């Protein structure tokens, strides 16, 4: 599961990047662009996590014969 | 050495969550979801082999496979519901967590109805 720990690092990286960008944009007086950056980061991470959750649900369904 | 891998993933995820939470709490929630899913996916393969053994034992003991299937389904529902409820509670939404647990209980009851009916009909047959 190299893919797994990779995803955790990716999400944390997006989080830190968004925080830094937000701070910079706020310093430059561009609050609304900061909000957009936050929203974009959230959407990207959300898509990754949803895909992971779909994988989990599929596996649980096949292991426990839930249909 | 799967234990080492899982503990390492947990520790790394915890540190990263603490770092991210101070700035972006919503991403910290998603990070904890991802960590939980990854850890569970690592052990799911082992669970499936245990399930195979249990099924083999049940079939050699002559237990009806319908009942075994029901029990497996109940375990699966309980696990998934617990997972979702824990995440909701972690994010501070205790209300939604309670609703998830209630829904899971109802679904488990629906699955258990055939077993209860079988037990009751057997009792009625025994009592003259």
B80 CB-near residues (< 8 Å, 6+ apart): A57, A60, B104
Where do the H-state alpha helices sit in chain B? 2-23, 25-60, 65-90, 94-126
Q: Do B5 and B44 lie in a common domain?
A: yes
Q: Do B12 and B51 lie in a common domain?
A: yes
Q: Do B86 and B40 lie in a common domain?
A: no
Q: Do B86 and B118 lie in a common domain?
A: yes
Binned at pLDDT 50, 70 and 90, residue A67 comes out as: low
Instruction: Assess A44–B contact: CB distance below 8 Å, yes or no.
Output: no
Q: Do B72 and B33 lie in a common domain?
A: no
Q: Do B68 and B122 lie in a common domain?
A: yes
pLDDT given at position A7: 86
pLDDT given at position B98: 95
pLDDT in tens, chain B (128 residues): 788 989 999 999 999 999 888 888 888 888 998 998 898 888 888 888 888 898 888 888 888 777 888 888 898 899 889 989 998 998 889 999 999 999 999 999 998 998 889 889 999 998 87
In this complex, which of B24, B30, B37 lies closest to A19 when CB atoms are compared? Answer: B24
**Rounded Cα gap, residues B30 and A25, in angstroms:** 24
Q: Do B7 and B39 lie in a common domain?
A: yes
Q: Tell me the nearest-neighbour CA distance from B64 into chain A, angstroms.
A: 16
Contact B20, A15 (CB under 8 A): yes
Q: Tell me the nearest-neighbour CA distance from A59 into chain B, angstroms.
A: 8
Q: Do B79 and B128 lie in a common domain?
A: yes
Single out the residue in B55, B80, B97 at which a domain terminates: B55
Q: Provide the domain count of chain B.
A: 2
pLDDT 10s digits, A29-49: 888 888 899 999 999 999 999
Range of the domain at B28: 1-55
Single out the residue in B9, B27, B55 at which a domain terminates: B55
Q: Do B125 and B68 lie in a common domain?
A: yes
**A8–B48 CB contact, under 8 Å:** no
Q: Do B49 and B69 lie in a common domain?
A: no
- Collect all residues of chain B within an 8 Å Cβ-Cβ radius of residue A16: 19-20, 23
Q: Do B68 and B48 lie in a common domain?
A: no
B24 CB-near residues (< 8 Å, 6+ apart): A15, A18, A19, A38, A41
pLDDT given at position A64: 82
Q: Do B50 and B82 lie in a common domain?
A: no
Query: pTM value?
Result: 0.81
* Percent of chain A surpassing pLDDT 90: 30
**Rounded Cα gap, residues B92 and B83, in angstroms:** 15
């Amino acid at each position: 599961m190299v893919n797994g720990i990779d995803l955790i690092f990716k999400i944390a990286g997006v989080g830190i990047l968004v925080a830094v960008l937000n701070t910079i944009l706020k310093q430059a007086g561009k609050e609304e662009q900061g909000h957009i950056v936050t929203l974009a980061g959230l959407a990207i991470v959300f898509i990754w996590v949803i895909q992971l959750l779909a994988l989990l649900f599929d596996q649980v369904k096949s292991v426990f014969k839930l249909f | 050495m799967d234990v080492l891998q899982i503990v390492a993933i947990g520790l790394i995820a915890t540190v990263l969550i603490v770092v991210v939470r101070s700035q972006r709490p919503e991403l910290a929630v998603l990070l904890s979801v991802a960590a939980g899913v990854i850890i569970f996916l690592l052990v799911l393969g082992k669970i499936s082999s245990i399930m195979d053994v249990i099924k083999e034992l049940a079939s050699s003991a002559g237990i009806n496979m319908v009942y075994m299937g029901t029990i497996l389904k109940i375990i699966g529902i309980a696990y998934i519901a617990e997972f979702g409820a824990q995440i909701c509670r972690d994010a501070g939404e205790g209300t939604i967590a309670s609703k998830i647990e209630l829904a899971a209980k109802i679904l488990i009851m629906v699955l258990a109805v055939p077993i209860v009916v079988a037990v009751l009909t057997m009792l009625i047959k025994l009592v003259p």
